[in-house]
Structure 1
């Protein structure tokens, strides 16, 4: 027998809330759908109901859902955030590998988020904790959630020396010598790390500028990193790399 899940929709705009409830109604997997227009209402429902999933608008009349979640402590249901601000905290959501949806809601993106929830068995408590950490901490302390076969491994960004493409996967090479194979493309990784001093020097290579020891001239050239690795610089990316190197 298929599992039935109980879901909460926290959204202060009546039309947006109605749309969300209607979209959820298209799935047979949800037995109960609760609605809240404020954090106070959401808190009341959470205290009386056993939830499996919550859709939370980031900004609500009585506060921010992120602060409310941080204050709750343990979260025993999964979360999908909703925001109308494309730049607002989206980097933090991606770094913690949490789902978020932008307004106006796209039906396909919504469906993908729901299906991702339905196929997952693990809870996101550690990801929620990491999200709050990322939002409140300076960049050098921020961690990234790396999807592994067993769940997620949280790694300090400053410990990443370089990343190398392996088709649809990416190898992460860390300062302590560890190598991690992660199910993300190098393009995805580049988008996550572009604000943290990383530079794409080749179609296959992304490097942490903090670990650059030497640049060897050539058609594209080579970069020597502090772990002794030599990484080729492509002709197409040489100018961008040299420009970033001067700033660094």
Structure 2
């Protein structure tokens, strides 16, 4: 049985101190080898085309552009990517929409180790993941697609096809119209933050529901019935919010302000 070759990494980071720290850290990690490091978009594109790396550690803000500019100019097959970012909520949201991994600066060795372990079993980026991420970043608005990352693959799903999400034992199961479901690696809180502003209601600590699939609400029992018959619990803490949602909806439908 042949040994698995190490993942070949390029570091794209404009701060020399962080770049050097990453190189030093990666030299100590089995299964990884640094084949290049650079500080600009232009240098990165030349280096990526010449070496075809397996993984990019990719800073977002670079002197001549952004890490997203590099993604846009890569041709398939795409390497795996871990973004490095210091801030910008909408930037992180764009990365999450595309289900691409990221690390916040200042970098933490434990979190870096965990991200590297995740990336070993991750698939190379899909063109659709890159398109979703770029569109969300450039337009800074809600996406109509979501990249769902499971342990085995990434699947692109339209938001309107997601019925509800349920958390169980730390994993989030996404229930899709037509009876399909996917167990994903992100938390329900992650999805709630991503989908803020979209048509999703947090009815319970374990449930996030797409308004499009709500059929009936039983306030006394604290139950939402979906169009397919699924019953979703409404917690005591969420009853007031859900009641207000239906009151507002009723007012809009009837033209009543009472």
Q: Aligned partners of 1:73 and 1:133: how far apart in 2?
A: 17
Q: Per the alignment, do residues 170 and 68 of structure 1 end up closer, same or farther by CA in structure 2, a change over 3 Å counting?
A: closer
Alignment size in residue pairs: 245
Give 1:124 deviation, angstroms.
Answer: 1.5
Give 1:156 deviation, angstroms.
Answer: 0.7
Are 1:37 and 2:39 counterparts? Answer: yes
Which residue of structure 2 aligns with residue 53 of structure 1?
Answer: 55
Which residue of structure 2 aligns with residue 221 of structure 1?
Answer: 222
Q: Assess if the C-alpha contact under 8 Å between 1:190 and 1:200 holds in 2.
A: yes
Q: Assess if the C-alpha contact under 8 Å between 1:133 and 1:142 holds in 2.
A: no
Which residue of structure 1 aligns with residue 126 of structure 2?
Answer: 125
Q: Aligned partners of 1:116 and 1:69: how far apart in 2?
A: 20
Q: Per the alignment, do residues 169 and 55 of structure 1 end up closer, same or farther by CA in structure 2, a change over 3 Å counting?
A: closer
Q: Assess if the C-alpha contact under 8 Å between 1:11 and 1:56 holds in 2.
A: yes
Are 1:89 and 2:91 counterparts? Answer: yes
Which residue of structure 2 aligns with residue 80 of structure 1?
Answer: 82
Once the two structures are overlaid, the 10-residue window that deviates more, 125-134 or 19-28, is 125-134
4+ runs deviating over 4 angstroms: 136-141, 244-248
Q: Assess if the C-alpha contact under 8 Å between 1:134 and 1:142 holds in 2.
A: no
Are 1:209 and 2:195 counterparts? Answer: no
Instruction: Select which of 5, 15, 18 maps to 1:3.
Output: 5
The two structures have a TM-score, normalised by structure 1, of 0.85
Unaligned runs of 5+ in 1: none
Once the two structures are overlaid, the 10-residue window that deviates more, 58-67 or 89-98, is 89-98
Secondary structure class of the residue paired with 1:108: helix
Q: Assess if the C-alpha contact under 8 Å between 1:86 and 1:102 holds in 2.
A: no
Q: Aligned partners of 1:42 and 1:65: how far apart in 2?
A: 9
Q: Per the alignment, do residues 169 and 116 of structure 1 end up closer, same or farther by CA in structure 2, a change over 3 Å counting?
A: closer
CA-based RMSD: 2.6
Q: Per the alignment, do residues 163 and 85 of structure 1 end up closer, same or farther by CA in structure 2, a change over 3 Å counting?
A: same
Give 1:99 deviation, angstroms.
Answer: 0.8
Q: Deviations over 1:12-56 (max 9, x none)?
A: 111221222222222133334311111111122123223111111
Give 1:6 deviation, angstroms.
Answer: 2.2
Instruction: Select which of 15, 23, 26 maps to 2:25.
Output: 23
Q: Per the alignment, do residues 166 and 190 of structure 1 end up closer, same or farther by CA in structure 2, a change over 3 Å counting?
A: same
Which residue of structure 1 aligns with residue 243 of structure 2?
Answer: 242
1:125-204 aligned within 5 A: 125-126=126-127, 127-136=129-138, 141-148=143-150, 150-175=152-177, 177-184=178-185, 185-204=187-206
Give 1:228 deviation, angstroms.
Answer: 4.2
Give 1:141 deviation, angstroms.
Answer: 4.7
Once the two structures are overlaid, the 10-residue window that deviates more, 104-113 or 187-196, is 187-196
Give 1:2 deviation, angstroms.
Answer: 4.1
